Amino acid sequence: MGSPPEPPVEPVELVPVERSARAVLEHLGQLYRHDLSEAYQLLPNPDGTFNFRELDRFRTGDDEGARAWLVHVAGRLGGFALIASTPDGGRSVAAFFVVRALRRSGVGRAAARLLLTQHVGRWTIGFQDYNTGVEASWTSIATEAVGTRWTTRSQPVPVEGVPPDTLLTFDTGPEVASPPPRGLTFGPAAEQYERYRPGYPQEVVDLVLTTDGRPLTTAIEIGAGTGKATRLIAAQGVAVLAVEPDPLMRAVLTRVTAGLPVTVVGSTLETLPSEVAAHPVDLLYAAAAWHWTDPATRWEQAARLLVEGGTFASFGGPMNLLDRDLVAQVEGVRAQFMQTDDVPPPRGDPATSQLHWPGAELVVSPYFTDVEEHDLPSTSTMTADDFVGLLSTVSAYLILPRATAAPSSRASGSSCRPRSRCAGTSSSTAPAGRTCPSLRELPAALPSALPSADVRARAARTPDGGGRCRWSPQAAGVTMVR
């Protein structure tokens, strides 16, 4: 037997609960309470229902500060949301529920976005630490709305034996609301990031871990993402403190590094607690993430985190198609929305430098010396669908307005020629004469090369004086070979 058809997931609407629909709200409320019964150890009443006394204030209509909406998906019921006024004039999310068939489909996120448009100002959202995944989801939604300008705190629950609630607060007022920085947009695509982003060759790991004979047992990774590099370094027996600011990315990172010597921390380089620098490590590294750090402070911060003679490594970079016909198709589609999907270079390379960024920046830093750059080319093959999946994890596309990002990208008038032989270890063919009206119908095999520029450096001194470290980045690209 095949899998049942998946329900539609768009369009998503919030429909105010009218008096005639209050019974519907009560029925959905029972599903919501059943969902919470495991965490709260709730049992049903003798009549088979769960208590939901909080619903009364929304059901009667007597409380002007209490509002209720039904979540409609493609015209059908998908859940509900309740918000209430707070003493400071803000709003709180009293309950938020999406039926199980629509979870992890984007419906909840879309409904939450709509809910936040109902009030401009202060929001408070409460959840329980043992309600798995809720914190990651709501903090990611808050990041979409206000960047990093949100806070969380614990609030005791007046019930013996029940852990405290966590309260998430932020303000969507016009004076503070702004899009999140590009480096904080990956959370909604965390699972795609883990699935479609390529990993790193063992050759890079070996080079990063090469020392002059001294032991290398501890490391800090900045911008760990879903752990593409983390798992490789930790698998060599190195204890890694994996620093990642996005909660949805951290959730995947925690999952994929289970059983490895990895400690996950929610932070950026700039906001790391001071006690981290009090315990410097042998290796500090970033995999395709160092460009998100603050150029004014990153090298001083890096030196502070390292022991004397420690190693710094940075690797990863953009992917570039080599098949000229395919490049033209992709660029034609992309031009409808943006000029380029590259990340702007953090700083122009000095004309006199023979190194690429960040080597050119590092070589003039007073904290580092012995800079080396190495090219480590490698080749892999991906399908057209995987290439589109890869694009869905690129920040340039993630920051597009939803209305812009939603339509299928089209590249008209091009044909998919058959593929006979592909670079790398695999080959594939696609039917001749097939048209390619969208990115999803690009040639079936997209061979991709990941050339690496690996650079080393040693620290001349740390901010506190003395020490060295080595730097080792990898640049990446994608090739297409006929």
Min mean pLDDT across 187-196, 234-243, 409-418, 463-472 is at: 409-418
Give the residue with greater pLDDT, 16 vs 135.
16
Min mean pLDDT across 113-122, 373-382, 416-425, 466-475 is at: 416-425
pLDDT-based confidence at residue 466 (cuts at 50, 70, 90): very low
CA separation, residue 419 to residues 266, 391, 433, 467 (Å)? 45, 22, 12, 53
The confidence score (pLDDT) of residue 341 equals 60
Q: What three-state secondary structure class fits 23?
A: helix
Domain ranges of the chain: 12-185, 191-458
Q: What is the DSSP string of 66-114?
A: EEEEEEEETTEEEEEEEEEE-TTS-EEEEEEEE-GGGTTTTHHHHHHHH
In whole numbers, what is the pLDDT of the chain averaged over residues? 74
Supply 209's token pair: 């871990």
Alpha-carbon span 140 to 123, nearest angstrom: 14
> How far apart, in Å, do the first and last CA atoms of the chain sit?
40
Strand 218-222 to strand 281-287: parallel, antiparallel, or no bridges (unpaired)? Answer: parallel
Residue 435, pLDDT > 90, answer no
Reference 239, options 282, 276, 287; nearest CA is 282
The confidence score (pLDDT) of residue 185 equals 67
Q: Yes or no: say if 269 and 301 are a contact pair by the CB < 8 Å rule.
A: yes
Q: What is the DSSP string of 314-335?
A: EE--------HHHHHHHHHHHT
pLDDT-based confidence at residue 441 (cuts at 50, 70, 90): very low
The confidence score (pLDDT) of residue 228 equals 93
Give the residue with greater pLDDT, 142 vs 384.
142
Task: Point out which residues pair with 29 in neighbouring strands.
Answer: none
Q: Architecture of domain 191-458 in CATH?
A: 3-Layer(aba) Sandwich (3.40)
Whether omega for the bond prior to residue 273 falls within 30 degrees of 0, making it cis, is: no
Min mean pLDDT across 128-137, 308-317, 422-431, 443-452 is at: 422-431
The confidence score (pLDDT) of residue 387 equals 78
Give the residue with greater pLDDT, 34 vs 376.
34
Highest mean pLDDT: which of 2-11, 58-67, 304-313? 304-313
pTM beyond cutoff 0.75: no
The confidence score (pLDDT) of residue 353 equals 61
Give the pLDDT confidence of 217-265 residue by residue, as tens digits: 999 999 999 999 999 999 999 999 999 888 788 888 999 999 999 999 8
Supply 432's token pair: 């001749």
Alpha-carbon span 441 to 385, nearest angstrom: 8
The count of other CB atoms within 10 Å of the CB of residue 244 is: 28
Q: Yes or no: say if 186 and 224 are a contact pair by the CB < 8 Å rule.
A: no
Give the pLDDT confidence of 47-74 residue by residue, as tens digits: 999 998 888 888 766 677 889 999 999 8
Q: Yes or no: say if 462 and 447 are a contact pair by the CB < 8 Å rule.
A: no
Give the pLDDT confidence of 27-42 residue by residue, as tens digits: 999 999 998 887 777 8
Residue 407, pLDDT > 50, answer no
Residue 453, pLDDT > 70, answer no
Supply 251's token pair: 């959730």
Residue 214, pLDDT > 90, answer no
Q: What is the DSSP string of 281-310?
A: EEEEEEES-GGGS-TTTHHHHHHHHEEEEE
The confidence score (pLDDT) of residue 348 equals 47
Give the pLDDT confidence of 110-151 residue by residue, as tens digits: 899 889 888 888 999 988 766 657 877 888 888 888 877 888
81-103 in b/e burial notation, b at 16+ Cβ within 10 A?
bbbbeeeeebbbbbbbbbbeebe
Give the residue with greater pLDDT, 8 vs 124.
124
Q: Is domain 12-185 in CATH 3.40.630.30, yes or no?
A: yes
Mean pLDDT for 423-444 is 30
Residue 413, pLDDT > 80, answer no
The confidence score (pLDDT) of residue 271 equals 84
Reference 67, options 83, 87, 86, 91; nearest CA is 83
The confidence score (pLDDT) of residue 291 equals 81
Residues whose CB is less than 8 angstroms from the CB of residue 262 and which lie 6 or more positions away in sequence, other chains included: 227, 230, 231, 234, 239, 240, 242, 253
Check residue 348 and report its DSSP letter: P
The confidence score (pLDDT) of residue 58 equals 82
